């Protein structure tokens, strides 16, 4: 709690400039809800703030459940019959990770999933809980992407049905799930990641992961050629897991701690066709993030609508992954259980993230770097040039650089030009970005027309970005308001009205 208060808690919002917008921040949380959630023990423990920071902590103490540990000393994440979130790139975020959830989201008609035909948003049960694959600790950004890819799944079902009238509900569902999952994996690989790591080298590298060094045109014309270097990982003849059964490591979990991407308010834009304001997108109001999370967020989402939310998030920069930029509203938040029900105990998420890494035996920053054959720091100046940060780091860790927590080091580390994340985190990203594709038969030996269908494989191969998905379902949105190279970088916006004129006063002459 000392670390969370002195080194993580936001003093003043720092953003990422034009590089990364709020859709990009939502995307990675959409992915985390697909991949990672530890099982919990029944034992609850308490953290209490020491006197030196007690009056600065939103919560003087809080209780939470320990991570469930198995006899081997490892932590049970997604194995056995009690899966919460599957680690595979299988879009369980919209389909679910168990039979009960998968049954809940399906219409059992033409392979489709449930969604509001009227609003294009998620449906809800009588308790206000969204009907989707993953509904724990969510917010409107994740809900919107869930709704978008449910629409994508249903559109694939229609396309496959048009191609082959004999396909039954189960066939359509399974083929459409494979296609939609591959589209999501592809967007993450060659669209989202290259905005996070904005360099020409990374752009070439991530595209080579999918297409190989011979490129997309060659692969489209002649198919997969040779090995994974020439033809890309996707479409290789055999899976490859490097001698380790497929999993997501604790290191991977830790470097994806990115809650600093979220701001304190979402800046809502006016997208109404009011005379004289078309395309000017004035800022009409700011909505506190507290009203956009959990069950309250689902209510707010229905009032905003998909297009207004996406246009607003597209124009707003995300927070930067820096020290002292962790949202304070996360330090007093209501968590949910796996069923989406709110729990009685509030938590300080910044302090909890530090505790989780320590509890799960994730190495401290220097040992983490040593394990990847990276040079450890010997003094704080090796980590950052910020004199103020150096002073606080020295105070919190009593001058012991070996005690530096991984999350703090990742936030403090000097960034490579073009990188929104640290170089240390990048090494994990680089390894897992490839291995998640290599180890999955649906991206290697079974990435073919027999498994995906001819129409389905073409759907994947002709989708290059999130913008392509937007164009399919909301073409008026991208035509009218999206002026950036990627849906994940900040959309070009004319000047914002600081003191917007109320709509009822905007009367044409």
| Nearest-5° Cα angle at 431, 426 to 435 | 145
CA 453 to chain centre: 29
Whether residue 2 contacts residue 53, with contact meaning beta carbons closer than 8 Å, is answered with yes
Is 287 in a helix, a strand, or coil? strand
Bridge partners (DSSP) listed for residue 287: 266
Asked if 325 contacts 120 with a C-beta cutoff of 8 angstroms, the reply is no
Give the count of alpha carbons within 13 A of 402, CB side only.
0
Catalytic residue (choose from 33, 124, 175, 259): 33
**Helix, strand, coil shares, percent, the chain, to 5:** 45, 10, 45
What SS3 state is found at 46? strand
Q: Is 33 a catalytic residue?
A: yes
Q: What is the DSSP letter of 199?
A: S
CA 234, 240, 245, 250 dihedral sign is negative
Pick from 387, 369, 386, 385: nearest CA to 377: 369
Rounded CA separation 77/83 (Å): 8
Give the three-state DSSP class for 347: strand
The answer to whether the CB of 1 falls within 8 A of the CB of 50 is: yes
Paired residues of 15 in beta bridges:
319
> 12 with 477: CB under 8 angstroms?
no
Sequence-separated (6 or more) residues with CB below 8 Å from residue 50: 1, 2
Answer yes or no: are the C-beta atoms of 152 and 93 closer than 8 Å. no
Q: What are phi and psi of 174, to 5 degrees?
A: -70, -45
Residue 217: exposed, middle, or buried by beta-carbon count in 10 A (0-12, 13-18, 19+)?
exposed
Q: Are 77 and 69 in contact (CB under 8 A)?
A: no
What DSSP state is assigned to residue 15? Answer: B
Residue 159 to residues 79, 112, 282, 467, Cα–Cα distance (Å): 35, 12, 38, 19
Residue 270, token pair as written in the block: 């006016």
CA dihedral 423, 252, 491, 283 (to 10 degrees): -110
d(CA 360, CA 405): 13
> Which residues form the catalytic set?
33
């Amino acid at each position: 709690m000392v670390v969370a208060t002195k080194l993580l808690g936001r003093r003043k919002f720092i953003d990422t400039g034009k590089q990364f917008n709020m859709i990009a921040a939502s995307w990675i949380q959409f992915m985390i809800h697909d991949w990672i959630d530890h099982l919990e023990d029944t034992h609850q423990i308490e953290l209490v703030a020491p006197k030196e920071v007690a009056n600065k902590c939103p919560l003087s103490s809080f209780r939470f459940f320990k991570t469930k540990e198995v006899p081997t000393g490892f932590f049970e994440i997604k194995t056995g019959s009690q899966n919460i979130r599957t680690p595979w790139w299988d879009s369980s975020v919209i389909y679910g990770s168990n039979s009960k959830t998968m049954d809940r989201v399906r219409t059992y008609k033409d392979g489709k999933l449930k969604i509001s035909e009227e609003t294009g948003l998620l449906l809800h049960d009588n308790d206000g809980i969204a009907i989707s694959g993953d509904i724990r600790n969510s917010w409107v950004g994740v809900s919107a992407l869930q709704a978008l890819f449910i629409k994508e799944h249903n559109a694939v079902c229609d396309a496959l049905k048009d191609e082959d009238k004999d396909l039954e509900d189960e066939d359509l569902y399974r083929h459409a799930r494979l296609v939609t999952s591959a589209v999501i994996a592809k967007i993450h690989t060659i669209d989202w990641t290259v905005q996070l790591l904005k360099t020409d080298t990374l752009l070439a590298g991530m595209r080579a992961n999918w297409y190989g060094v011979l490129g997309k045109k060659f692969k489209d014309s002649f198919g997969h050629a040779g090995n994974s270097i020439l033809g890309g990982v996707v479409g290789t003849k055999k899976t490859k897991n490097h001698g380790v059964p497929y999993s997501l490591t604790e290191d991977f979990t830790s470097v994806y701690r990115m809650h600093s991407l979220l701001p304190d308010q979402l800046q809502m834009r006016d997208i109404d066709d009011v005379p004289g304001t078309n395309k000017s997108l004035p800022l009409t109001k700011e909505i506190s993030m507290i009203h956009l999370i959990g069950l309250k967020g689902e209510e707010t989402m229905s009032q905003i609508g998909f297009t207004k939310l996406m246009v607003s998030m597209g124009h707003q920069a995300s927070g930067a992954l820096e020290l002292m930029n962790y949202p304070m509203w996360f330090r007093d938040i209501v968590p949910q259980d796996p069923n989406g029900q709110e729990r009685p105990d509030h938590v300080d998420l910044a302090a909890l993230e530090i505790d989780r890494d320590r509890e799960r035996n994730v190495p401290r920053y220097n040992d983490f770097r040593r394990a990847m054959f990276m040079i450890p720091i010997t003094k704080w100046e090796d980590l950052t040039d910020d004199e103020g940060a150096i002073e606080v780091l020295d105070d919190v860790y009593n001058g012991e650089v070996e005690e530096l927590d991984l999350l703090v080091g990742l936030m403090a580390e000097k960034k490579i030009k073009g990188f929104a994340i640290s170089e240390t985190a990048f090494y994990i990203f680089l390894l897992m970005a490839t291995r998640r594709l290599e180890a999955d038969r649906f991206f290697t030996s079974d990435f073919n027309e027999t498994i995906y269908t001819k129409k389905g494989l073409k759907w994947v191969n002709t989708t290059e970005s999130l913008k392509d998905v937007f164009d399919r379902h909301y073409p008026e949105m991208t035509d009218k308001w999206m002026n950036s190279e990627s849906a994940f970088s900040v959309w070009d916006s004319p000047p914002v009205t600081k003191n917007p004129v109320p709509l009822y006063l905007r009367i044409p002459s």
